[in-house]
Amino acid sequence: MIQFVARRLLATVPLLFFVSLVVFSFVHVLPGDPAVLFLGEEATPETLAKFRTRLGFDRPLVTQYVEWLGRALRGDLGRSLRTNQPVTEAILQRLPVTLELLGAALAVSLAIAIPAGIVSAVKRNSGVDLVSTVFALIGFSLPNFWLGLILIYVFALLLRWLPPSGFAPLPALADNARSLILPALTLGTALAALITRQLRSGMLEVLRQDYVRTAQAKGLGQGVVVAKHALKNALIAVVTVIGLQIGGLLGNTIITESLFALPGVGRLMIDAVFSRDFFIVQGVVLFLAVGYVLSNLIVDVLYSYLDPRIRLG
């Protein structure tokens, strides 16, 4: 197991190096001129030149990259062009909100999908199965920003049960939970749909296996067979879906945070895009990409734990 993790970690290093190259090229190689984009078309050539000198844009690209990478490795992603706040500090300040949202969305999706997937496989071709299959088909195609608006309209404006937007930080636990219910549903529904679909087919596959039939023949109750024998193997499919969807989840966090005015990393990025604060954009993209690569690594390790054939293969 340790060998497997070490091998995967080692393979991640060159990948992260190339990721850093792509992120660096965002500001420096793509056709847009950051100086013009930041200062506007009307800026005089002198002002533009001063801006470039101040940020070191006039030096050779390789020198800029090496220095930038060196600083990034020490956790220094530069400073915001607007507020002068260190980029890393800005990200870390907002990270707890994003992590809480991601955790809540994952919890919501599992809370919907695990019972739905199991029941729909066990009671195949029943009414429940039909409902959950239709949910799985529809949920994936629902634009989350539209779903969010519908949820705000129904639960915040019509029924007035939950706040339409904003974030109540911890330790005000009840308010914190209330402020995250709608965002978590908005973010978690598509994932719930996918997991339901995958878990249903995973369970159907497992329920046909001989060892499940043996367990049933031994006289074990349906509940024990499903929970103890079938679910653990079907969960591999769930981990796979979650692993594949982490990227989508991170991207949709940006939309959800923006829709519900949550002060997370995604909102920071959107604000920075509009205020043309390139170093914040660059920092957040790098941060999310590294987070994505590392979470894929965790999923791989988890996957190999659930299915030993993977690490031994």
Partner 1 sequence: MDPASLRAIALRQFRRSWVGQVGAALVVLFLIVTALAPLLAPYDPIATDFANVLSPPTRAHPFGTDDIGRDILSRVIHGSRVSLQAGLFTVAVALTVGLPLGLIAGFRGGRVDDLIMRGIEVILSFPTLVLALGITAVLGPRLIHALFAIGIVFVPHFARLIRGQVLTVKENDFIAAAHALGASDARVMGRHVLPNCLAPILVQSSFSIAFAILTEAALSFLGLGTQPPTPSWGIMLAMGRGYLEQAPWLGAFPGLAIFLTVLGFNLLGDGIRDALDPRLKA
Residues that bind partner 1 (CB under 8 A): 14-15, 18-19, 21-23, 26-27, 30-32, 34, 37, 137-138, 140-143, 145-146, 149-150, 152-153, 157, 246-252, 254-255, 258-259, 269-270, 272-274, 276, 278, 281-282, 284-285, 288-289, 292-293
Provide the token pair at 259.
């829709």
Q: How far is the CB of 112 from partner 1 (least distance, A)?
A: 19
Q: How far is the CB of 172 from partner 1 (least distance, A)?
A: 26
Q: Which is nearer to partner 1, 167 or 287 (CB)?
A: 287
Measured between alpha carbons, how far is residue 229 from residues 119, 203, 205, 215 in Å? 15, 10, 12, 8
Q: Which is nearer to partner 1, 19 or 220 (CB)?
A: 19
Q: Which is nearer to partner 1, 176 or 245 (CB)?
A: 245
Q: How far is the CB of 269 from partner 1 (least distance, A)?
A: 7
Q: How far is the CB of 82 from partner 1 (least distance, A)?
A: 14
Q: How far is the CB of 137 from partner 1 (least distance, A)?
A: 7
Q: Which is nearer to partner 1, 138 or 172 (CB)?
A: 138
Q: Which is nearer to partner 1, 32 or 103 (CB)?
A: 32
The DSSP code sequence of the chain is: -HHHHHHHHHHHHHHHHHHHHHHHHHHHTSSS-HHHHHH-TT--HHHHHHHHHHHTTTS-HHHHHHHHHHHHHTT---B-TTT--BHHHHHHHHHHHHHHHHHHHHHHHHHHHHHHHHHHHHTTTSHHHHHHHHHHHHHHHS-HHHHHHHHIIIIIIIS--S-SS----TT-HHHHHHHHHHHHHHHHHHHHHHHHHHHHHHHHHHHTSHHHHHHHHTT--HHHIIIIIIHHHHHHHHHHHHHHHHHHHHHHHHHHHHHTT--SHHHHHHHHHHTT-HHHHHHHHHHHHHHHHHHHHHHHHHHHHH-THHHH-
Q: How far is the CB of 256 from partner 1 (least distance, A)?
A: 11
Distance between CA atoms of residues 237 and 57, nearest Å:
47
Q: Which is nearer to partner 1, 27 or 104 (CB)?
A: 27
Q: How far is the CB of 135 from partner 1 (least distance, A)?
A: 13
Q: Which is nearer to partner 1, 24 or 167 (CB)?
A: 24
